[in-house]
Every structure is written in structure tokens, then in C-alpha cells.
Structure 1
Amino acid sequence: MSVSVSLWCEEEVRGQQGQGAQQGQARGHSQLRAPWDPSVSGQRIIQRLLQVEERYLPSALYVALIQRDPERREELAKWAMEVCCERGCDETVFPLSVSMLDCFLSASLSLPVSPYCLAAACILIYSFLHFQNSVCDNMEMERVILATLRWDVAAVTAQDFIPHFLPPVGERKDGKTDTEEFFSTLRRHSDTLVAMCVCDYRFLGAPPSLVAAAALNSALRGLGNKGPGHLGHMSATLAELCQTDLVSMVLQCYSELIEAALKQRLRGGLQDSAMEKDGEIEDERAGTPTDMREIDF
């Protein structure tokens, strides 16, 4: 696999040198990022994101249909996550791909013959990856998706809000700010919770800003190094940033929903590991009686 499309200015043109393909592939796995610019953060940017996020929410009809039978969508979302992790895609590719998947299904209200082809096409569109021997079905599905969405694919996800929510949340009542290590840990935990919400049908149709605020709130409580007063101050700050009526109650509800979903997944993971261990023990047991195995042929 080689990178054929990139937005980086320093990318070399393929074919100039014999090692161009290998260098392009190496750059595909390294996440090059511009340094954080404080001038593109703050209340003005948050307000703009809040205005844009409503345009990419799925329809109420699609949400109702998915809630009746959520297994297929959850299966596709988990498969997309596994592919993104295996291929080393940027952390933004997975939520954007699932958002495009939901937007396409919301607009068409019909599942294609190959749902995994649809999910793969969404991943390829956002990851800018191109296989040398591309499958014609994937390329055709990409055209169908882009035509259906009219090339309006610059969706807003919960991960777009997290870096803008972090600085206000990190401000303490005494005027001091938390350490860089705390911000890094909080960001990792929040990204993990957001990825879990993307796969969970119960958060389908929720505004990304609310999901991001609830994930941050749950991550803060999960870290356990803040007092009740400080946690209340941070929750109030997040509620104010979301700028929604009754957002404090809704934020608390979604935070509890995230924590319940996390506990459910952890219990499911422990049960799966226990079942796998029991299966290994069962395989190791002899199917032949012990005395029969002691015979010297």
C-alpha cells in the first residue's frame, strides 16, 4: 500500500526517485501535525463549531430505525475501529468515517449489498489512502457516497471540541492551571470514551459537543484526583460551553450513560476473556482416557 494523495506540502512526487514509494509509505504512518495555535481556539471557535455540528446530525427517522435493531451498525462501527487501528490511521479518521456512514444511511435509508464495502469506502475517503490494486467496488462506493452527500463531508465530531474544551476546564478556582501531564492524560481518556460513544447506538443523534463535554466530565471523575467542589466547577464550565438549554441536567445524564456503558463493556470484556480461558482449558483436556494413552505402541 502506498500513499497517493496527501495534503502535506513537503510530499515528494511519486516516480521522481526509486525510493519515493517507500518514503511516502513511511510518512503515511507518522502523524504530522501543526503546532497548537491559540489564535484558532476560544469561545469564537466553539460558537462556530456549535453552529456547524447541527448540519451533520442524522435524521430522527434514521436514529429511530437504528435503535430498533442496533446490532448491525455497532458491528460496522467496531469493524471500522479495528481497521483504523490496524492500519495506523489518524485518530480523527474513525469518528469521521462513522459520521459519514450515518449521514449516508440517513440520506439513503437503504443498506447496500455489502455494508463492509460502505464502511471501507468511508475510511478510505478520510484516510487519503489508496491501494495500488484498488477494488472497483470500493471506488464505485466512494463515488456513490460523495454524490449522495454532495461532497459535504467536512463533518464536526466530538473530537473537534475536546481541544477547545480543555483550556477552560483546566482553569482552577484559584486562578492556577493544571499541569501538561494532567491535560495529556485527560485528553487520552476523553478520546477513548468518545470512541466508545461512536460505537454505541445510544449516543447516535446526540450533538458532538454534548458527547465531548460528557466524555470530558466522565474522564475527570474517573481520574479521581479532583475534589467534589472542583468537579462541580468543571461540570458547570462544560455546561456553559455547550450553550444549550437545561444542558447541566443533560450533561449529567450523558455522563452517567457513558459510565454505565463503560462498565458494561468492561464486564463484557472480562466475560469474553474468561470464556476464552475456559475454552483453552477444555482443548487441553484429553479426549482419550488416561489409561489408553499409557499404552506403548
Structure 2
Amino acid sequence: MNTDQGLVTLISDMDLMCAESEAPRRAYEDPVLIQDNRVLQNLLDLEDRYMPNPAYFKCVQTDIKRYMRKMVATWMLEVCDEQRCEEEVFPLSMNYLDRFLSVKNISRTSLQLLGAACMLIASKLKETIPISAEKLVTYTDHSISFNLLMEMELLLLSKLKWDLSAVTPQDFLEQILSRLSLEKEQTKVIKKHAQTFIALCATDCKFMIYPPSMIAAGSVGAAVHGLSNIPYLDVKLLQRLHEITGIEMDVLRGCQEQIEQTLANNLSNMAQPVEQSTKMEHSSSSSSSSHHTNTQHEHFKEQPTTPTDVQDIRF
């Protein structure tokens, strides 16, 4: 091979390596870890250690309210979704946030800063390419600074005592699904729906009282129940979930029903603004449509870069 051919080959190899390095790397599922009962038992033994105090709104916090947590959680979920984070990042971020608020009293003006720090640490732990601190500052519409985010990160790590490998419902999902008698395609569909339910539970304060294993099992049950094309009886499923997790069937059924009710409430709340918008469109005259379009365009141009405007909680 002459010098020119060798140079071409070297450049081609370098291009290939660069292209491979830009793509996020995903670890293969290890069947030994997923199907080994010792792993599942270790998760069940450790989950109580990482549960927050569900009464921290009364016992610890003097300025933070439940609706404020809901607003920040929704913002965090949208950031994780827009950044295409791994499914584990958001539940882990919320675990950090709740555990921090269980031991440290802060003002409402620092809540979004705390949420950004939680996402920063969780993405470092779970992502191949973590969310950058600069990008998180941008998502807050620059209501926080880089230095403040770094200070909050250190405070968060200190209050969590650097114990970051928390057990979340996401950790139980593969353990549960691998032990159900389902086909591969059915498992994929159920997993996708269950991950949505897990994220929904993480945004709602009332699910803080449930251990991660129960939320994961309830999410799987709700996913199967909502998919009528999967021939799997609810009673048999609850029995199997009981055998896997050791949680009583009545408790599992109650958790599943609460998840389904929370989903229904959220869908209802989302439908109301759409109905109101439709009524307003019908009531407006056609002669003002051009003015309305221009005004609407100007309104969107003025929207902040933050996906959800959580700065209202600062007042």
C-alpha cells in the first residue's frame, strides 16, 4: 500500500471513529443481572433507605408548598424530555429533590435552582453525555447563574451525603417485566407505558408514600390494564406481581387504581384549555383573524426559553 492509499485509509478510519464517538453509547441488558433473584432482593432491601419523608412540607419546609413542587417537577420533566435523557434521569432527579427537601429548609426562590442541580447530578450518573450546566442555566431563562448552580450542586451532594445511587421505580421495571410471561413486543409496549406512569407518579406528591417497587408494579399493572389487546387477566397479573415484589394484592390494586385516576385527572386538565381555546376561536370574527395571527406570532416570540414558566412561584 502506497503513501496516498495509507493516508486515505487513515482519514476514513478517523471519520468513522469520530462518528462513533458522537453517538450515545447504550449498555446491553445483562440477563444475569435482570433475572438473578439476588439482585431483585437487594433492591427490595435497599429501597426504604432512599425514600424521602412525605411529611416534609409540614415538618421541614416553611415556604415550599405542594403546588410549587408540582410546577418544578413538570418543568424538570419537560427539560429531560427535550434533552432526550435516559428514562432513569427524571425519577432519580426527583428522588434527590425530595430527599434534600426532607432535611433542608429552603425558600421558594431556590426551588428551581435545586431542581436544576438535581438534573445535573442525575444526568452525570445516568447519561453518556450529561446535560451541561450552561444549558440548564438557559432553561431557567437565566434566572440562576452558573456559580449559583455549582454552589447548589455541592450543597445537594453534602445533604445527600454523596449517596447518589438511589433505588427508583425504574430499577424495578426490568426486574418485573422479565418475570412476566409476555412476548417481546408486548413487553416493549408495556415498558413504554409503564415508564410514562412512573414519570407521572414522580410529579405527584401523593406517591411519595409508596416504595419504588410498588410504584413500578402499579405502573406495570396500569399499563397492562390500559392495553386491551394484550390477553392477560388482571387477577393473574396482580397475583404474579405479588409473587415478584411480596406486596399484598389489595395494596397493589389500590396503587394501580390511584395511578389510573391520576392519569385520568391529568388528561382532563389538559383537555380543558383545548376546549376553551376552541370556543374562543369560534366566537372570534373572521375579519379579525389576520390581526389575531400577528398578535399570536408576537406572543410566541416573547416566550422564555424555559419550557414551563416556574418563576411564578417566586412571588
Partner AA of 1:260 in structure 2: Q
TM-score, normalised relative to structure 1: 0.78
Is residue 237 from structure 1 mapped to residue 250 from structure 2 by the alignment?
no
Find the aligned partners of 1:227 and 1:64 in 2 and give their Cα distance.
Answer: 45
For the 8 Å contact 1:98–1:198, the answer to whether it is kept is yes
Is residue 146 from structure 1 mapped to residue 150 from structure 2 by the alignment?
no
Partner AA of 2:274 in structure 1: S
For the 8 Å contact 2:217–2:241, the answer to whether it is kept is yes
Find the aligned partners of 2:257 and 2:134 in 1 and give their Cα distance.
Answer: 46
Q: CA deviation at 1:276?
A: 2.8
Alignment match, 1:137: 148
Q: How many residues align?
A: 257
Find the aligned partners of 1:269 and 1:143 in 2 and give their Cα distance.
Answer: 37
Find the aligned partners of 2:106 and 2:164 in 1 and give their Cα distance.
Answer: 19
Following superposition of structure 1 onto structure 2, how do residues 34-113 of structure 1 map, counting pairs within 5 Å? 34-42=27-35, 43-62=37-56, 69-111=65-107, 113=109
Sort the Cα spacing of 1:44 and 1:63 in 2 relative to 1 into closer, same or farther, 3 A: farther
Aligned pair partner of 1:224 in 222, 228, 240: 228
Partner AA of 1:251 in structure 2: L
Alignment match, 1:162: 173
Q: CA deviation at 1:89?
A: 1.5
Find the aligned partners of 1:149 and 1:123 in 2 and give their Cα distance.
Answer: 14
Deviates more, 1:204-213 or 1:33-42: 33-42
Q: CA deviation at 1:188?
A: 0.3
Find the aligned partners of 2:98 and 2:109 in 1 and give their Cα distance.
Answer: 16
Query: What whole-Å deviation, never above 9, does each CA across 1:103-151 have from its counterpart, x for those lacking one?
Result: 0000113346321111011111111333469711101110010011110
Specify the SS of the correspondent of 1:108: coil
Deviates more, 1:155-164 or 1:231-240: 231-240
Sort the Cα spacing of 1:185 and 1:60 in 2 relative to 1 into closer, same or farther, 3 A: closer
Determine which structure has greater relative contact order: mean sequence separation of CA pairs < 8 Å that are 6+ residues apart, divided by chain length. 2
Specify the SS of the correspondent of 1:88: coil
Unaligned segments of structure 1, at least 5 residues: 1-16, 172-177, 288-297
Query: What whole-Å deviation, never above 9, does each CA across 1:57-101 have from its counterpart, x for those lacking one?
Result: 1124316668x9421111111010011111222111111111100
For the 8 Å contact 1:63–1:204, the answer to whether it is kept is no
Alignment match, 2:120: 124
Is residue 276 from structure 1 mapped to residue 274 from structure 2 by the alignment?
no
Unaligned segments of structure 2, at least 5 residues: 1-13, 125-130, 136-144, 289-315
Sort the Cα spacing of 1:253 and 1:284 in 2 relative to 1 into closer, same or farther, 3 A: same
For the 8 Å contact 2:133–2:149, the answer to whether it is kept is no
TM-score, normalised relative to structure 2: 0.74
For the 8 Å contact 2:176–2:244, the answer to whether it is kept is yes
Query: What whole-Å deviation, never above 9, does each CA across 1:176-230 have from its counterpart, x for those lacking one?
Result: xx321111001001001111111111111310000000000111111113457x3
Sort the Cα spacing of 1:71 and 1:131 in 2 relative to 1 into closer, same or farther, 3 A: closer
For the 8 Å contact 1:124–1:130, the answer to whether it is kept is yes
Runs of 4+ more than 6 Å apart: 20-24
Structure 1 or 2: larger helix share? 2
Partner AA of 1:240 in structure 2: E
Alignment match, 1:189: 193
Deviates more, 1:196-205 or 1:73-82: 196-205
Percent of residue pairs bearing the same amino acid type: 33
Q: Aligned-residue CA RMSD in angstroms?
A: 2.9
Following superposition of structure 1 onto structure 2, how do residues 170-209 of structure 1 map, counting pairs within 5 Å? 171=181, 178-209=182-213
Alignment match, 2:138: none
Alignment match, 1:212: 216
Deviates more, 1:105-114 or 1:255-264: 105-114
Sort the Cα spacing of 1:45 and 1:270 in 2 relative to 1 into closer, same or farther, 3 A: same
